[in-house]
Structure 1
Amino acid sequence: MPRIMWAGVLLALAWGGWWLWAAAAAERAVERWVADRRAEGWQAEYARLDLGGFPLRFDAEVLLPALADPQTGVALTASALSVSAPAWWPGDVTVLLPEDAITLASPEGRATLLMQGARADMQLRPGAALELERLELASGPWSLGGPNGQVLLAEDLSIIMEQDPTEPRRYVLSAGAAAFQPGSVPRAALRVPESWPVSFDSFTLQMRAEFDRVWDRRAVEVSRPQPRRIEIALAEAVWGTLELRAAADLTIDAEGVPEGTLSLQARNWQQILTLAERAGLLPAALVPQAQSVLQALAAASGDPQAIDATLTLRDGLVLLGFVPLGSAPRIILR
């Protein structure tokens, strides 16, 4: 019996020593990462880092984190971030986002994000690169606001990104938001009638994407991996009488130019075109050209109110059959 007791004591001391060493190493790693980002010209700072969770977890609360990437101009500030992981494998990470305002800034402006019960669960492959195997972001009610009012809001949010076990550079992505709705700012810009539904009936995405390299710590520290193949099984947005669905199979070269096919289904496309013009997404000078193209697509579908067509992207152009409709957009992650 005394031997068992001594073995238990030694095991507890060894585990306690491991926990203290690993916690100190994690704190040093955070400090080193922040210092490295500052050396690269980032704004990277926090007020305090509190560690706890002994003996079974590593729990860290980062108070007043602030990050700004000088290359993209994107910045984030928050009151706190809570990070937690099991002590036996710190690669299963859970990040809890604060329920008060998260401030986002970019060259396009500033926005405020509010999320209830938001958490991100990450599974990282063992190794210094911290290769991403799975990311799941889930939230309750959330809203994105700008200086003039609400921009977007929904009852929930679900985003899942999972690595394909047969090809590490390929990820399966699904996303959706229940009761997704434009806020007061876009509704005013679009001059949406009061009788129009408040929320989208459906707002979902299911796709696979293959990148030029895996997603790992370099995605934050160096540059984002760039897509080289995109397969969209379904992208769907249904809002009142407006319906838009898309599927695609595209390959993308090193310059971001896509080639492949894009299938589109749209109902009441005239209203979609009108809303795009009102929002300033489509310059007035291009409206006649866009209307001619969409009319041709609708005529090919056999229903003047609907579009059901497959477009070909080739040589930097978008084509309907042999008819060029315009330049293909470049697909580059900044």
Structure 2
Amino acid sequence: MAEPSTSRKKSRFWLYLPFTLLLLGIGAWTAYWFVAKGQLDKGIDQWISEQRANGTVIEYSSKSLGGFPYRFELVVDDPVYQAAGQGRWEGEKLRLVMQPWNWQHVIAYSPGRNLVTEPGGLRQTVTLDTSSATSVSWTRDGIRRIGVQMGSATALINGESYETAGFSLNLAPRSGAEDDLMIALQWDRLTINAAPQGAEFLGDTLGPSRLIGEVRGFFPAWIRAGGDPERFHRALVQQEGGVEIAQALLDWGPLDLGMKGDIAYTNGRANGSFGIRIEDTTELRAVLEESGQLGQQENAMLTMLETSSADGGFLSFTIQDDEVRMGLVPVGTLPGPGY
């Protein structure tokens, strides 16, 4: 009778072992989460104190850190942030989400009204839906990727109104060439304040559009420009960077345009090539004619574009020392960097 008893004890051991290991794993994970939460709470409070000591304004009505067991989620109500001498940002609610196993990736949500007051007093407003988010990931060497997604958003910028749906922007350094910035931008719909003056036939709404490209030497040029977008072009020329457009598609009213190109800056001059194409020109011709803007030159250009665009082709241009040519014919000069 002893042998059956020993057999039953062994079988029960193997039966209970997985549940025991599961309970131990849950206990270990719970302990890790709460210890890590304590460290995060401490680090957040310390960072706020240091920023305030340096003259930064940080205000909020409440903040809490939760998210157990699958994430860390910092929720801040009525956040205000203003670095010394910089613009002021005010939001309704800020959520920062991070996975417990990846401390180098944060997703930020700021639904509702976001108000930015520039140092001069000018106010810019962006209102976001709950699905809109900004994602930032990094490594020890720096930023790895920045992504902005907007389900729907409205904005009032410099007195002009904008509305977008299905907007996304992804930025990342190129692997192996960390000075270069890769860009992927697209939207399903973008409504601007008004149609461009002189091109009212385009309307104020852009349909599905996309841009995929790269700015070579972006980060050194951005540092050289001091983070000022108005000085960036000049800094990029001085840095001898370049711009590559792998794919650009623009759907704007009757205009359905495509573009690709590669421009490099050497000795302060632009050199390279680009191509443009256009889809069916029937509607575009009609609105140009109706608005009285379909002259002989415009009609000839549309015909040339239409012919070159057949079978996925492009009308090609070359750039040599800032001069733009179509074949051997000069057609214009690129704007300088604003020295």
TM-score after normalising by structure 1? 0.66
Q: 2:332 aligns with which of 317, 325, 330?
A: 325
Alignment map for 1:55-204 (pairs within 5 Å): 56-62=70-76, 63-67=78-82, 70=85, 76-98=89-111, 100-105=112-117, 109-116=122-129, 117-125=131-139, 127=140, 131-145=142-156, 151-182=161-192, 185-187=193-195, 192=200, 199-204=205-210
Structure with greater helix percent: 2
What is the one-letter code of the residue matched to 1:161? L
Quick check: 1:211 aligned with 2:217? yes
**Structure 1 pair 191/173, CA: closer, same or farther in 2 (3 Å)?**
closer
Task: Report how far residue 83 of structure 1 moved.
Answer: 0.8
Task: Report how far residue 271 of structure 1 moved.
Answer: 7.9
Q: Which has the larger radius of gyration?
A: 2
Higher RCO, 1 vs 2 (CA within 8 Å, ≥6 residues apart): 1
Structure 1: gaps spanning 5 or more residues: 276-290
2:301 aligned partner:
298
Cα deviation per residue 1:141-181 (whole Å; 9 max; x = unaligned)?
A: 21223586x62212221112234333233333211111222
What is the one-letter code of the residue matched to 1:210? R
8 Å contact 2:181–2:219 — kept in the other structure? Answer: no
1:312 aligned partner:
319
**Structure 1 pair 67/55, CA: closer, same or farther in 2 (3 Å)?**
same
8 Å contact 2:144–2:173 — kept in the other structure? Answer: yes
**Structure 1 pair 324/84, CA: closer, same or farther in 2 (3 Å)?**
same
Task: Report how far residue 119 of structure 1 moved.
Answer: 0.8
Q: Distance in 1 between matches of 2:24 and 2:275?
A: 69
Q: Distance in 2 between matches of 1:61 and 1:161?
A: 26
Cα deviation per residue 1:39-85 (whole Å; 9 max; x = unaligned)?
A: xxxx6433354333355533223332234685xx7653322321111
Task: Report how far residue 7 of structure 1 moved.
Answer: 9.9
TM-score after normalising by structure 2? 0.65
Secondary structure of 1:328's aligned partner? coil
8 Å contact 1:23–1:58 — kept in the other structure? Answer: no
Aligned length: 290
Q: Distance in 1 between matches of 2:63 and 2:177?
A: 37
1:53 aligned partner:
67
Q: Taking every aligned residue pair, what percent have the same amino acid on both sides? A: 11
Q: Distance in 2 between matches of 1:13 and 1:203?
A: 48
2:40 aligned partner:
22
What is the one-letter code of the residue matched to 1:179? R
8 Å contact 1:69–1:75 — kept in the other structure? Answer: no
**Structure 1 pair 79/189, CA: closer, same or farther in 2 (3 Å)?**
farther
